[in-house]
Amino acid sequence: MGTHAEARDVREIAHAAQVRELVAAGALSDPAWRAAFAAVPRHVFVPCYFTGRGAGHERLWADDPDPAQRARWLRGVYTDAPLATRLRDGELVSSSSQPSLMAKMLEALEVRDGDNVLEIGAGTGYNAALLCHRLGEDLVTTVDLDEEITESARSHLARLGYRPAVVTGDGARGCPSRAPFDRILVTCTLPQIPYAWLGQCRPGARILAPLSTGLIALTVRDAELAEGRFLHTSAYFVPLRGATAAPPGTYGMPEGLPYELVENERFQFMLVLTSGALHPREALDLWRREGRPARERFGVTVSAQGQWSWLDDPQGPYVWPLGEPAGPAG
């Protein structure tokens, strides 16, 4: 890439091009978030990442001595795709989310000036930096279970002058010392909504979290009740690790289903969402009977008595407990 100045110019051009692409794709309609994405370069937060090559992985990094490899690294950084940033024993434990999905989630969070935000899953720190630009670093807290991840995120953020609260801890327990929160943004897939979060939120707070293969937007009524519907957007994230981690096999697809259903995102979503309560055949029959419902028709209720997913109406007739094993098929 030549001199440092030339390399900086190339990175700035790639960054600006990505922002234009996100706007053109409709992922950035809010001017405040457009300004945040324009101000925060992704490459600072992804100095290296891994690409899959068959059974192995290839590492691409910013300081590779080979100019061609550095160019590949930069192209990947500013592609609208998730990037694997940390592997352990060959398994993905942290990533940089797809920028267009990040933009949609940040807009769906519906933040207001002065909102205190908790992010569950620090990742590279990129999302926290965007929040810092929008709200100010004093109103941003990001939590991750892995100290290596939080240290890396803290370092990346500091390079751009951001110093939010970066906390090493179990995100399922929230962060009581920084509460109360007006918004909670989750960047890892959950099997349930940790009940502890409700008590750390102000009434009217919004929780946006990946659940099943979708995004649930909950409104917190008080410390004992939150309820809301799924957005239309699909979402696939690294599972939460910690107190409410999903048990092994939670998100596996059962064998014997017709291929067109295995590949159907709407059915996948319903099957995973109801997997603790409905057997696959029961889920399939209901899905067909109800006109192949989209994600937006489903919702979740979190209360002191438990958690339920539902179709159309939280009062029924289609209500299922989250996280409970299915009984004998009827």
Do residues 219 and 269 both lie within one domain? no
- The total of structural domains in the chain comes to 2
CA distances from 146 to 120, 153, 197, 323, 324 (A): 12, 11, 20, 25, 28
Ranges 45-54, 100-109, 238-247, 272-281, most confident = 100-109
Q: Using only C-alpha atoms, what is the Rg of the chain?
A: 20
Are 121 and 186 contacting, i.e. CB atoms less than 8 angstroms apart?
Answer: yes
Do residues 147 and 274 both lie within one domain? no
Do residues 272 and 221 both lie within one domain? no
Show the domain range for 292: 259-321
Do residues 141 and 270 both lie within one domain? no
Do residues 91 and 215 both lie within one domain? yes
Do residues 90 and 185 both lie within one domain? yes
Which amino acid is located at 209 in the chain? Answer: A
Do residues 177 and 265 both lie within one domain? no
pLDDT at 239: 81
Instruction: Please indicate, yes or no, if residue 330 is contained in any of the structural domains.
Output: no
Do residues 156 and 24 both lie within one domain? yes
pLDDT at 272: 87
- Whether this prediction's pTM lies above 0.75 is answered by yes
- Show which of 234, 251, 278 is a domain's final residue: 234
Instruction: Please indicate, yes or no, if residue 305 is contained in any of the structural domains.
Output: yes
Q: Quickly state the pLDDT bin for 313 (edges 50, 70, 90).
A: very high
Do residues 18 and 91 both lie within one domain? yes
Do residues 78 and 190 both lie within one domain? yes
Instruction: Please indicate, yes or no, if residue 252 is contained in any of the structural domains.
Output: no
Do residues 82 and 187 both lie within one domain? yes
Which amino acid is located at 191 in the chain? Answer: P
Cα separation, 27 vs 170, in Å, equals 31
- Show which of 201, 234, 267 is a domain's final residue: 234
Q: Which residues are annotated as catalytic?
A: 94
Do residues 173 and 300 both lie within one domain? no
- Show which of 199, 234, 269 is a domain's final residue: 234
Q: Which residues pair with 208 in a beta bridge?
A: 185, 217
Sheet holding 56-61, edge to edge: 56-61, 48-53, 83-88, 91-96
Instruction: Please indicate, yes or no, if residue 249 is contained in any of the structural domains.
Output: no
Cα separation, 313 vs 34, in Å, equals 35
pLDDT at 218: 98
pLDDT in tens, 112-167: 999 999 999 999 999 999 999 999 999 999 999 999 999 999 999 999 999 999 99
Share of the chain above pLDDT 90, in %: 73
